Amino acid sequence: MANPPELFPCLRHTVLEDEKPEGVPSKENKTTSSLARFFKRKKTKAGYLPRRNAILEKSVEKLRASLNCCKCSKHTAAKRLKQLFPFTSILDGYSGLYDLPCDIIAGLTIGIMHIPQGMAYALLTQLPPVYGLYTSFFPVLIYFFFGTSRHISVGTFAVVSLMIGSVVDKGHVAWQRHELQGAIQDISTGHNITHSLQEPDPASTSLGATNLSSASPGFDNFFRTRPLSELDMVKVGYAMAVTFCVGILQVVLGFLRMGFLTTFLSDPLISGFTTGAAIHVFSSQIKSAFGVKVDRYSGPLKLIFSYHDFFTHLNHPNLVTMTITIVTVLFLIGIKEGINNNKKFRETFRGIPIPGELIVLIIGTVLSKHFQLHKQFDVEVIGHIPKGFPTASLAFVKYLPDVIGESFAICFTAFATSFAISKILADKHNYIVDPNQELIAHGMSNFLGSMCSSFCSAASLSRSMVQEGVGGKTQIVSLISSVLVVIVLLALGPMFEDVPNSILAAIIIVSLKGLFFQFAELKRLWKVSKVDYTVWLVTFFATVLLDVDLGLLIGLIYNLVPILLRTQEPYSCLLGRVPNTDIYVDCNIYKETVQLPGIKIFKFESPLYFANMDNFKSALVKATNVDPHYLKLLKNEMKDTDMTLRHREVCLATSEEPCESHDHLHPLSGRSVPSNCGTFAIIIDGSAIQYVDSVTVRVLKDIVLDYRDVDIDVYLGDCKASVRIMLEKSGFYNHVYRRNVCATIHHAVQVAQKSAAMSKETLASTFTMAPEDFLQEGEFVRLDLENSVESMDKIAAEGSS
């Protein structure tokens, strides 16, 4: 069937004065003209195709810009260097008189916070405390060159440190298994083993939880006879390997411009996940806080087994350790809440906080060394802290295959939390952070940092807020804080060897206060969105019960389910006209709207794609109360019944027998035959349909043709340019008139009303014709269609004017 002419001018291509017909040579540059000719419009029998400037010409401009960027010039090279090293742009307007003093004060403050937090968070990773100091130096220094945020404080972060600790636990289990196999081989070969080895207790490994510290007394004593350096090397290797993988992933995602992926991590998901992770962080410190020997577990339900062991051994706590913990916690809370958060104090000291963590660290060191707490009262202390920096190494590469899976979860968690903090501070100070460049910055920090013995880093909310609060202006703060960490690493490290672990545990516990306060989000989410409320709860409980990595995965999957359900079963409604206007709104919300007689305006608030097309058709039938398939079935039954009755009437007319009732011959006798309820047009509002796929185009074509078979016209109104282009590409107009796609809803209403009026006039004139005027039925229909098309050309022209 040939395409009828295009009938609404708002979609017809308008020839510009400066454009030339095809075939005429252009005076433009060859490269530019070839790009222009590639996107040039093609003319068809029905006229010009819809103008694609809104989408395709933007693509041309982007392509031209990309080609220009590929040129080798000083300007382009400088621009690229500024994009890769944003600190050059930040320092362009840097004021040494006004900005530098603020950065020095903030740098000293953050450096003082880095020292105790670095050593404390290293305990979460199961590594020696000095590795926390490495993480407080190398990634901080690297981020200065690549980062776009001016206010975040990169370094150790509790949640990420805990996730690294889970990977280290995996390495611990692998090492134990390897040592056990070696011991069994020694026994089988006749070598003497002093201590007996026993298999792990099945009760301790049920439901996926694995005991990492004391599978049995003999097993634990056996490991105490082995050199610890080998185990430490395995732990460090696993931590550095996963950090290396995280860095590679972040850099690759940054260069691929995949920063938008963080949008899938919603605020309720991140809040529920970090709160659940805070439970794990707190639970990991109770043994150091109370001086209780608690076995370490990994896997699902590990918290249940850990707390079972904790309460079992709680009747024998270390009273000195417990006293140190309680005093430290009370002191830190008093400093933070009573002084640092006091409004008058902040105004007096320009927001510079009292370094409570450093104070308790120094006091604890002095008291521990003076009273010999480790020897006299069996108080666990940090132990040896080496001076200097470690040698760069890639010895951990052999562990890379074992940690690839965990690196994905850590990659997204570290970046999502860091970027969220960056975005908050950037919005507050009116500058822009680039998510793709931030991925590169954090990736380079982890990639290069892993070679220098620093584990995975991220932005800390507490340090970032302090850095911004004391007046830090740029990442010069990071350089100054790094100087303090260097001093500790080169000279002061051994002075902290006698710090009790309970003090570090108290620092960690107090720092979790902000994460625990996220429980208050539940009340707000319940009022605002029940879906977000369930996302928070599901993510939280999955993280607490199943472990951190599984909790994030389950939370992410559950977070995507409402999105899919919303596109599967979105809100749909009929639109009505606001009196005396050309505005059409939801009839369910606005009761004063007017339903146009014979016209149903349907709105489906979702993109259309293959997965929700069945729901779209069902919603359309339900809203309009017109089922084309049912009407066609009744129409065919009526046609067959009429033919049967006519044949029967002829037979009865030739018979001389008296007539009888033949109601039983009519299969629809006594049954009301529903019509299309007076509906002659259905208009689909395309304003909420952001995109369509090839399946959608085919289904839309079938819908238009099905309703046309029952004398109902279907129109698409207010469609996006991308949707119209997809209709054109998919051959939609090979089967559907162009007049069925209108620029606006009101235009579609006008076309539908005038089309219905014209159809009535044509039908009335048909019954005034003489019998000899009728030719063959098919020919009459063809002529009538041609007349209708010509008339609709005039209707569309009038509507557009």
| pLDDT at position 800 | 46
Residues with Cβ within 8 Å of 3's Cβ and at least 6 positions away in sequence, in order, are 44, 45, 46, 733, 734, 738
Closest CA to 612 of 558, 561, 569: 569
Q: What is the spatial distance between Cα 459 and Cα 414, in angstroms, rounded to a whole number?
A: 8
Say if strands 297-298 and 210-211 run parallel, antiparallel, or are unpaired.
antiparallel
Q: Is the pLDDT of residue 788 over 70?
A: no
Q: Is the pLDDT of residue 274 over 50?
A: yes
Q: Is the pLDDT of residue 766 over 80?
A: no
Long-range pairs of 82-90 with CB within 8 A, sequence gap ≥ 24: 83/437, 84/146, 84/437, 84/440, 85/145, 85/146, 86/146, 86/147, 86/148, 86/434, 86/437, 87/144, 87/145, 87/146, 87/147, 87/474, 87/475, 90/150, 90/474, 90/475
Class of domain 572-648+674-800: alpha beta
Closest CA to 626 of 572, 685, 682, 672: 682
| pLDDT at position 20 | 39
Closest CA to 488 of 472, 477, 503, 499: 499
Q: Are 471 and 251 in contact (CB under 8 A)?
A: no
Q: Is the pLDDT of residue 541 over 60?
A: yes
Q: Is the pLDDT of residue 749 over 90?
A: yes
Average pLDDT over residues 496-500: 89
Q: Are 548 and 272 in contact (CB under 8 A)?
A: no
Q: What is the spatial distance between Cα 295 and Cα 696, in angstroms, rounded to a whole number?
A: 58
* 768 — pLDDT class (breaks 50, 70, 90): very low
Q: Is the pLDDT of residue 19 over 60?
A: no
* 236 — pLDDT class (breaks 50, 70, 90): very high
| pLDDT at position 382 | 86
pLDDT tens for 76-88 read: 777 777 777 888 8
| pLDDT at position 175 | 85
pLDDT tens for 301-317 read: 889 999 998 998 888 88
Percent of all residues in the chain with a pLDDT value above 90, rounded to a whole number? 34
pLDDT tens for 155-190 read: 999 899 999 998 998 888 888 887 777 777 767 665
| pLDDT at position 339 | 86
Long-range pairs of 617-622 with CB within 8 A, sequence gap ≥ 24: 617/699, 617/703, 619/572, 620/572, 620/682, 620/684, 620/703
Residues with Cβ within 8 Å of 790's Cβ and at least 6 positions away in sequence, in order, are none
285-289, 655-659, 677-681, 750-754: which has the minimum mean pLDDT? 655-659
Kindly report the CA angle at 37 between 33 and 40, in degrees rounded to 5?
135
| pLDDT at position 483 | 93
| pLDDT at position 765 | 57
For residue 742, list its beta bridge partners: 717
* 781 — pLDDT class (breaks 50, 70, 90): very low
Q: Is the pLDDT of residue 773 over 60?
A: no
pLDDT tens for 602-635 read: 999 888 888 888 899 999 999 998 888 888 887 7
| pLDDT at position 496 | 87
Kindly report the CA angle at 692 between 686 and 693, in degrees rounded to 5?
160
Which pair of structure tokens corresponds to residue 169?
């636990």
Q: What is the spatial distance between Cα 693 and Cα 766, in angstroms, rounded to a whole number?
A: 42
| pLDDT at position 764 | 57
Q: Is the pLDDT of residue 212 over 70?
A: no
Q: Is the pLDDT of residue 777 over 80?
A: no
Which pair of structure tokens corresponds to residue 201?
């207790």
Q: DSSP for 98-128? A: THHHHHHHHHHHHHHHHHHHHHHHHHHTTS-
Backbone phi, then psi, for 591, in 5-degree steps?
Answer: -80, -15
Q: Is the pLDDT of residue 24 over 50?
A: no
CA–CA distances in Å: residue 435 to residues 397, 432, 778: 28, 9, 64
| pLDDT at position 345 | 80
Q: Is the pLDDT of residue 273 over 60?
A: yes
Q: Across all residues in the chain, what is the average pLDDT?
A: 79
Closest CA to 623 of 586, 578, 568: 586
Residues with Cβ within 8 Å of 670's Cβ and at least 6 positions away in sequence, in order, are 663
Q: What is the spatial distance between Cα 215 and Cα 205, in angstroms, rounded to a whole number?
A: 9
Q: Higher-confidence residue: 24 or 336?
A: 336
| pLDDT at position 70 | 57
| pLDDT at position 444 | 95
Q: What is the spatial distance between Cα 413 and Cα 458, in angstroms, rounded to a whole number?
A: 9
| pLDDT at position 242 | 96
Amino acid at position 141, single letter? L
Average pLDDT over residues 732-748: 91
Q: Higher-confidence residue: 198 or 426?
A: 426
Q: Which phi-psi region, left, alpha or beta, contains residue 393 (left: φ > 0; alpha: ψ -120 to 50)?
A: beta
Which pair of structure tokens corresponds to residue 467?
């850095």
CA–CA distances in Å: residue 308 to residues 85, 220, 293, 312, 677: 51, 19, 12, 6, 70
Closest CA to 676 of 724, 643, 710: 710
104-113, 175-184, 223-232: which has the minimum mean pLDDT? 223-232
| pLDDT at position 741 | 92
Average pLDDT over residues 67-95: 72
Q: How remote is the C-alpha of 665 from its chain's centroid? A: 64
Average pLDDT over residues 432-458: 94
* 266 — pLDDT class (breaks 50, 70, 90): confident
Q: Higher-confidence residue: 677 or 747?
A: 747
- Burial class from Cβ neighbours inside 10 Å (0-12, 13-18, 19+) for residue 647 reads exposed
pLDDT tens for 118-134 read: 999 998 898 999 999 99
Backbone phi, then psi, for 152, in 5-degree steps?
Answer: -75, 150
Instruction: State whether residue 682 is helix, strand or coil.
Output: strand
Q: Higher-confidence residue: 790 or 748?
A: 748
Q: DSSP for 301-321? A: THHHHHHHHHHHHTTS--HHH
Q: Is the pLDDT of residue 3 over 60?
A: no
Q: Is the pLDDT of residue 685 over 60?
A: yes
pLDDT tens for 333-366 read: 998 888 888 888 877 777 778 888 889 989 999 9
pLDDT tens for 366-416 read: 999 999 998 888 899 988 888 888 888 898 999 999 999 899 999 988 998
First-to-last C-alpha distance (Å) of the chain: 29
Listed by start position, the domains of the chain span 9-87, 99-276+386-496+517-559, 322-378, 572-648+674-800
pLDDT tens for 506-519 read: 998 998 888 899 99
Residues with Cβ within 8 Å of 241's Cβ and at least 6 positions away in sequence, in order, are 396, 397, 399, 400, 402, 403, 450
Say how many C-beta atoms besides its own lie within 10 A of residue 479's C-beta: 14
